[in-house]
């Protein structure tokens, strides 16, 4: 090796060491000191506890304070994911351990010192409130941190561990039960408020963002009183929770009334052979998880405190955490959830049986003369009830009842994997700039689209407005109902897509709300 080359190697090593030292490598947070890992100009701190392990007597209780530790804790590995179906967790990209001891968060920062006050983005994962972890590779925060934000991802309890309601649990709490996972999110946001300045983040410029159940969580947090002041912006990707409260088997409704959730929870514990709460807390986490059958059994409950009421009514009464919002949905969301096979006659029968006086308008809005049309309409009705209508309703309520702007997007980027439209979660790789590359390396167009979405998301986190010079203009949502449509490497403002369908679904939900009001008199 030549002397010149040796000098270059030494100089590079010295430069790299100096660069690493200029990052925030250690921080003192709630509980003690932590040491992160510096790589690619970004310091990552993984597995930071924001609450005590919710095990033993703390199972099905609100998160408790962090247990302090001595010395410096190495923050170089994700904490365990929450208890869930392990096969589903692996399918979603989690290869780490699962445990009840799961209340950890992660921080990525490229800040050089604690005085920088960068905008903060807090990620909440999806998974139908039944699964999800922070360790999925697509959620890695390195690239967003490089672009100027402090990225946090938080974990929360899912399934029966996060959302079991039961009469004894309600009696124990003094109000209701079934919202432990949401309470975890609030505890993590409180940790962010108290600690994020140590990572160069601005505790008064916090954006919560999530997808699917994570986006629904963001929507719910806008009406959770305990979350007031813990965030200043909200981004929801394929989320929203504005439908009426589920009291029986109503179509398109997910948040359960406390009585219904308690009944479901009591039956679940009876099937496990647990005659009381003490016996249920003595069960192993594995036995509880193995008893879970299917999706949708456990969901946040109208417990009266964490979720104090019907979100739509709270918005109408201006009783919500009013911030700028950026919300949207994908063009072919239903493809992941709906299977073909329903004939036109069966489709008509289902709609008339479940959608009351709105059925005829829905049948008119959704073509179903052939099996192919029926399949597409079944997918689209799932898209509207679960994602599109909540997005539209949320943006409309913010425009009419709030004091901030709403920005709405429609993601319709297509490729060989999804030729009929963008499927559920298809935007995630673009938002995080971690494209999965199903068909090899991302194309130049994909990279350009990701850069564009990054710019919008980060601008919004910084100021509450995604717009900036050099970007296609994104109008705020108003009575013209213009949205930003992403179809390729660029975007354009367009009229709200699927509006006829959304309005037909809106008529259904208006009927349900009127039914609920009448029943409550």
What does 34-66 look like in DSSP terms, one character per residue?
A: EE-EEETTEEEEEEEESS----GGGTTS---PP
Enter the tokens of residue 444.
């130049």
Let me know: does 232 contact 204? Beta carbons within 8 Å.
yes
Any residues with CB less than 8 A from the CB of 282 and at least 6 apart, and which? none
Do the beta carbons of residue 163 and residue 185 sit within 8 Å?
Answer: no
Considering 424, 433, 484, 491, which one is annotated as catalytic?
424
Comparing C-alpha atoms, which of 368, 390, 357, 344 is closest to residue 252?
A: 390
Q: Catalytic: which of 44, 131, 135, 212?
A: 212
Q: Give the pair of three-digit tokens for residue 332.
A: 């072919």
Residue 304: how many CA atoms within 13 Å on its side-chain side?
11
Selection from 392, 411, 381 nearest residue 499 by Cα = 392
For residues 281 and 240, what is the distance between their CA atoms, to the nearest angstrom?
A: 32
Find out whether 29 and 72 touch, Cβ atoms under 8 Å.
no
Q: Determine whether 177 is an active site residue.
A: no
Active site residue 491: no
Distance, CA of 497 to CA of 513 (rounded, Å): 25
Residue 333 falls in the annotated catalytic set: yes
Is residue 398 within 8 A of residue 406, CB to CB? The reply is yes
CA atoms within 13 A on the CB side of 406: 26
> Catalytic residue among 253, 333, 386, 484, which?
333
What residues act catalytically? 212, 333, 424
């Amino acid at each position: 090796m030549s002397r010149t080359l040796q000098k270059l190697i030494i100089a590079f090593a010295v430069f790299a060491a100096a660069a690493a030292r200029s990052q925030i490598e250690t921080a003192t947070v709630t509980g003690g000191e932590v040491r992160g890992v510096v790589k690619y100009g970004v310091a990552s701190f993984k597995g930071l506890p924001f609450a005590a392990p919710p095990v033993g007597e703390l199972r099905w209780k609100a998160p408790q304070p962090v247990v302090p530790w001595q010395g410096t804790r190495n923050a170089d590995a994700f904490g365990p994911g929450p208890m869930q179906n392990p096969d589903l967790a692996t399918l979603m990209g989690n290869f780490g351990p699962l445990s009840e001891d799961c209340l950890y968060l992660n921080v990525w920062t490229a800040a050089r010192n604690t005085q920088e006050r960068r905008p903060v983005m807090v990620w909440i994962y999806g998974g139908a409130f039944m699964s999800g972890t922070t360790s999925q590779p697509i959620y890695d925060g390195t690239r967003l941190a490089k672009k100027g934000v402090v990225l946090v991802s938080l974990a929360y309890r899912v399934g029966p561990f996060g959302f079991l309601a039961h009469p004894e649990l309600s009696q124990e709490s003094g109000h209701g039960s079934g919202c432990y996972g949401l309470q975890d999110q609030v505890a993590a946001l409180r940790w962010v408020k108290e600690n994020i300045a140590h990572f160069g983040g601005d505790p008064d410029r916090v954006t919560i963002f999530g997808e699917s159940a994570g986006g629904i969580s963001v929507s719910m947090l806008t009406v959770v009183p305990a979350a007031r002041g813990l965030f200043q912006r909200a981004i929801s990707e394929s989320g929203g929770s504005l439908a009426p409260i589920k009291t029986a088997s109503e179509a398109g409704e997910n948040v359960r009334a406390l009585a219904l959730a308690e009944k479901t929870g009591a039956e679940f514990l009876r099937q496990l052979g647990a005659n009381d709460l003490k016996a249920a807390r003595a069960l192993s986490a594995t036995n509880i998880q193995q008893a879970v059958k299917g999706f949708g059994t456990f969901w946040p409950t109208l417990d009266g405190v964490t979720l104090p009421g019907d979100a739509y009514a709270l918005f109408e009464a201006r009783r919500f955490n009013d911030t700028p919002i950026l919300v949207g949905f994908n063009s072919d969301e239903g493809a992941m959830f709906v299977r073909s096979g329903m004939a036109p006659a069966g489709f008509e029968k289902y709609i008339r049986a479940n959608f009351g006086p709105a059925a005829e308008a829905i049948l008119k809005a959704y073509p179903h003369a052939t099996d192919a049309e029926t399949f597409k309409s079944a997918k689209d009705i799932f898209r509207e009830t679960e994602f599109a209508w909540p997005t539209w309703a949320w943006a409309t309520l913010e425009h009419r009842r709030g004091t901030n702007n709403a920005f709405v997007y429609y993601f319709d980027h297509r490729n060989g994997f999804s030729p009929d439209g963008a499927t559920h979660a298809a935007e995630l790789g673009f938002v995080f700039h971690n494209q999965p590359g199903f068909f090899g390396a991302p194309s130049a167009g994909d990279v350009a689209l990701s850069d564009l979405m990054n710019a919008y998301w980060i601008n919004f986190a910084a100021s509450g407005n995604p717009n900036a010079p050099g970007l296609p203009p994104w109008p705020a949502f108003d009575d013209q109902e213009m949205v930003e449509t992403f179809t390729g490497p660029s975007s354009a403002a367009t009229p709200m897509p699927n509006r006829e369908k959304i309005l037909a679904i809106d008529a259904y939900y208006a009927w349900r709300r009127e039914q609920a009001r009448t029943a409550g008199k």
